[in-house]
Every structure is written in C-alpha cells, then in structure tokens.
Amino acid sequence: MSIPKGDVPPMADLSIDNITAKTILINSQNPDERLTYVFERLVTHLHDFARETRLSTREWSAGLNFLVEVGKISSDVRKEFILLSDVLGLCLLVDALDHPKPDKATEGSVLGPFHTHDAVVQPSGEPISADPNGEPLLVCCTAKDREGNPVEGVKVDVWETDSSGHYDVQYQQRSNPDGRAVLLTDADGSFWFKAIRPVSYPIPHDGPVGKLLELLHRHPWRPAHMHFMFEKPGWDHLITALYIPPDQYLSSDAVFGVKTSLVTPLGKLTAEQARKYDVPEGTALLTYDFVLVTEQETEALRDKNALEAVSKLFPGRKCKLVDHLPVPDLD
C-alpha cells in the first residue's frame, strides 16, 4: 500500500486493519526515500505474513527465540544469518536481482557463509590446499569479456573445503588460511592453481539453521563445488561456483546454488599438459572460461529490470531510481 508523506496522525487504537498504514506512515518521516520505501515494503510483508497465517503468540515467540539463537551462534567464522538466508533462497534471489547477467555472461551462484578476507595473494601455479588426503586437481581457467577478449589483473578469490568437506574456518584451531587463495589473471586472462577435488558436504547443521532444516525434513547437503569470486574496478563483481558432476546432490542443493551452466565435468591432464604444468599425467583437471561483464553493462540492465519490475508490480505507481535502486516517485 502506498502512503504519501505528511503529518503523522495520532497513533492510538491501532487494529489488525489500520496498523500497517500507520506504521508505514511513522516510518516515512525520514529524508531517505530509499529507506522509506524499503521499510514500507518490509512492514507490509511482515504484517501480511502475520495476517495471512493468523500468527499465534506462541509461534511469534518461537520465531523470535529462533532469531535470537541465530544471532547468538553468529561470529566472524560462523555466519548463521547468511546460512538462514541461503536455505530460504534469499541469497540466490538477491544475487540474481543485483547482478543480472546479459547474454553469454557467466551466471552467479551463492556466496555462502565461508568466504574470508584473509586469503593470501599467490602467483598462478601454487597449491591452495595443504590437505594431503585430497585427490589432486589442477584448475586452469580464464576470465574474458563477452567478446572473448582476455581481462587482465582481475582479483580472483577461490575457496573450497578439505577432503572431509570442512572449510578451514570450521576448525577451532585455524592458524592460517587453507583451501583458499587470491590470484590475479594474466595478460591472456588466465589463472591456474593446484587444488584438491571438491567433495559434497553438509552445511553446518549443529545450530538453529540445522534444526530448521530437520523440522522441514530437508537435508543439509551441498553438491561438490569450488567457489570463485572476481573483482576488478570497472567490472561487475561476480560471485559464482563450479559444480562437479556426478553428484547425488546436484539436483537438491540445500542452498539452491546450482546452475546447469556451472556444472563442469572434470577432465584429465594429457601428457603435454602434464609437462606444461609440471603435474603428473592423468591428474584431474578443471577448466572453465569465465565471462565477466562491465559494471556499466550490469547497471544498465539492473536499472531497466528494476523500473520494469516495479512498474509491473505497482501499475498505478510512478517510480524512479536513486543510486540505481527504485523508489516511488512522489513528485
């Protein structure tokens, strides 16, 4: 519902029918149009959710206690709210909204709760995993634009679990980053590193999000994958992952990250490749040509999609963009 700005009328005798409009009104006294719009939609959906379910006090209380638990277990290395957002499909949705992909661009996938900012920048060719039990894997990729031109100097964050399916941050005694690295693409757009073959693993399910999945009769497994994140000024931030078949969880990823275009069968190093990369012949090989798009391309597409979508959702409502984000246009 749309409420024009203005004086806030007396806030008494609020009822099931009038509380939403009044709450929106009292939240509309600040000068930030985007904040006002976000809170208008937030309050509308929060209240509609309660009205449509006829939410009981007991359920409301259980919900708040659950959120307290999610907050309590959260830390720099345990991002339970991201996990919750993941299993509810919100992460994938926000990525799709914020990073629309034009034709040919590599699709995005979920960031997940395990990215860190302390991975070491290393030259191509070095190992990223110290796990002696992992099956050796050579990863040889490129970053190019949509016309096939290499993009040089892209900062590429990569991260994966060890062979038991745990990220380094899941170990209490983590002395230094492992299973992760930052690389820079070469003049030909390429970057390569030694890793281990990804394995499928359950997301952390010993906390409140795990309890929720159990209640919903959902399994916590993710199919084997390796995370990639690409950053370069002027280029749209790309968060994605490559999924390795065969994997029994490819069609039921607990966090909805799988895209067909990101499912990448492993190859095996030929004798020639083995010599080039100084790795035994027959070593498993993961190759992928990532296609990046410029910030400008993404912004133009996002702006267009946003205006179209909001006009379609609220046919009677004029809309404008502020910092590339939609707000109702009251002028």
Q: Show contacts with a second copy in window 237-266 (CB under 8 A).
A: 250-253, 256, 258-260, 263
How near is the Cβ of 141 to a second copy at its closest, in Å?
21
How near is the Cβ of 2 to a second copy at its closest, in Å?
12
Question: In the structure encoding, which two tokens stand for residue 8, read together?
Answer: 């806030």
256's torsion region: left (phi>0), alpha (psi -120 to 50) or beta? left
Question: Using CB under 8 A, which of 35, 120, 121, 330 touches a second copy?
Answer: 35
| Rounded Cα gap, residues 235 and 10, in angstroms | 49
Site for a second copy in 56-85 (CB under 8 A): 56-57, 59-60, 64, 67-72, 74, 81-82, 85
325 binds a second copy (CB under 8 A): yes
Question: Using CB under 8 A, which of 2, 5, 45, 304 touches a second copy?
Answer: 45
Number of residues that bind a second copy (CB under 8 A): 85
In this structure, the chain runs to a length of 331
224 binds a second copy (CB under 8 A): no
* CB nearer to a second copy: pick between 39 and 191: 39
* CB nearer to a second copy: pick between 5 and 276: 5
97 binds a second copy (CB under 8 A): yes
CA angle 130/131/137 to nearest 5° reads 90
How near is the Cβ of 35 to a second copy at its closest, in Å?
7
Q: What does the DSSP assignment read for 175-230?
A: -S--SEEEEE--TTSEEEEEEE----EEPP-SSHHHHHHHHTT---EE-SEEEEEE
Question: In the structure encoding, which two tokens stand for residue 24, read together?
Answer: 């929106």
Question: What binding mask, one character per residue, do residues 267-306 give for a second copy by CB under 8 A, x or -?
Answer: -----------------------------------x--xx
Provide the 10 A C-beta neighbour count for residue 172.
6
The CB-side HSE value for 109 (13 A sphere, CA atoms) comes to 26
| Rounded Cα gap, residues 169 and 77, in angstroms | 6
* CB nearer to a second copy: pick between 88 and 184: 88
CB 243 within 8 A of CB 121: no
How near is the Cβ of 132 to a second copy at its closest, in Å?
33
10 binds a second copy (CB under 8 A): yes
How near is the Cβ of 44 to a second copy at its closest, in Å?
8
